[in-house]
Amino acid sequence: MNKKHLTMTLLLLCLLVNTVAAQHGRRFADPVFGNVTVSKKIRYSEAIRIGDSSPTSLYFDFYEPANDTLSARPMVITVFGGSFVVGYRDYKDMVEYCTRLAKHGYVAASIDYRLLYLWQLNTTSIVRDGYMAAQDISSAVRYFKAHCDEYRIDTSNIYLLGNSAGSVGILAEMFMGEDERPEATLTLPDLGTMHSSGFAEYANYSPKVAGAIPQWGGVIDLNTIDQDEYAPLCMIHGTSDGVIPIDSGYCFSVFSSSALPYLYGSRAIAAHLDKIGIENYEFHCFEHEGHSFYLTDNLEHKIIPEKFNACFNIVRDFLLRCQGYLTIDDNPSKITIYPNPATDAITIDDTNYSQGEPYQINIFDVNGREVFSKTITETYPVINISHWKSGVYLIQFEQDGKCQNKKFIKQ
């Protein structure tokens, strides 16, 4: 064998070894693929925007690990934010998510959806366009299920990830039933059912997904989320969000009072899930952070690496858990509450969490009302709950701007 053939053989052998390693063991937990293949501007649907008479084509960009041989890969569909007025599928955060996910062994797609013209902006048009965005997300899910062989997608493991308006659309797509549609979607004219948009050949494919990561998202009505339609959620939200409140309130309340829709944010959704007995969710709040906090506030909207990394790690671990894998942290739940259920008092075993440093505890009832708040400096703190009402409570631990959440039951 000459030197040239030997070099080529060694290169192919290294490629084979790297590919095999990527598809066993560390895949999904680590960025085992060095390169990502991106296919741009592939049409998945067409639909009419508000104010138009002819349909607009909707596209996606597709990201996949280079030289991947797995026949069916889990998929993440990302949906950009922008108040339903601005935005594009190559926004920096969507590109970063898709690229990193592909390096971890997923396939990812960043999709278009219909937007409003700026001069059409009002409460009614935002509600209507939010519903149309949800219809477009449904169209995308059904498209990828129809083309699962072409894109080598595991249709039982399709997830949605959104930013702001994208998250609002995701939550509506997942949970809003025909009898729960806002009045604004039924007239001027009727926008049709949630899953009626898109190309007719994909109509019979299911719009259901395996889970979703709505970042700083919200819903118009908490009661749209029920046990029958539920899929796991991983909610990420800043406590100082003035665009979509973490609890509830009017959008952009920092600028106006009631000119825009009233939404229930991530903490209100978490309280609702507790109330209806759903435990399979994650709620990650970031103290004192605002809206889209991993992006700079200037017009460039650059990614702030440490903040984006914190969110990506949450997404990574959520996806691992959904697929039944161990997370990066062998012991992600470092806090124990006992007894649970409790009658008179709870004790917190925080020895693996606090490391001797003070931290903040906030406790909320199922309606999202704060019932307890204290800075903890001692080990094994005991909290008297004897006078509290029976029910489920969310306890939030915050240290150095990072939060963990636990639930306990007061009998």
In the predicted structure, residue 325 carries a pLDDT above the cut 80? no
Crossing angle for the helix pair 305-322 and 92-103, to the nearest 10 degrees = 50
What residue numbers bound the domain in which 381 lies? 336-410
- pTM beyond 0.75, yes or no: yes
What is the Cα 326 distance to its own chain's centre?
20
In the predicted structure, residue 385 carries a pLDDT above the cut 50? yes
- The proportion of the chain whose per-residue pLDDT surpasses 90, expressed as a percent, equals 56
Give the CATH number for residue 174: 3.40.50.1820
d(CA 57, CA 94): 20
Closest CA to 353 of 312, 381, 317: 381
Instruction: Give yes or no: residues 383 and 253 share one domain.
Output: no
Question: Does a structural domain hold residue 160?
Answer: yes
In the predicted structure, residue 258 carries a pLDDT above the cut 50? yes
Task: Give me the amino acid identity at 202.
Answer: Y
Point out the domain boundary residue: 322, 347, 380: 322
Instruction: Give yes or no: residues 172 and 43 share one domain.
Output: yes
Instruction: Give yes or no: residues 318 and 366 share one domain.
Output: no
Instruction: Give yes or no: residues 149 and 171 share one domain.
Output: yes
For range 231-243, the mean pLDDT: 94
What are 265-287's pLDDT values in tens digits? 999 999 999 999 998 999 999 99
Tokens read off for 243: 């665009």
In the predicted structure, residue 25 carries a pLDDT above the cut 50? no
Q: Name the pLDDT band for 193 (thresholds 50, 70, 90).
A: very high
d(CA 113, CA 79): 8
Domain tally, the chain: 2
Instruction: Give yes or no: residues 290 and 341 share one domain.
Output: no
d(CA 251, CA 258): 8
What are 124-139's pLDDT values in tens digits? 888 989 999 999 999 9
Give the CATH number for residue 382: 2.60.40.3080
Quote the pLDDT of residue 39.
97
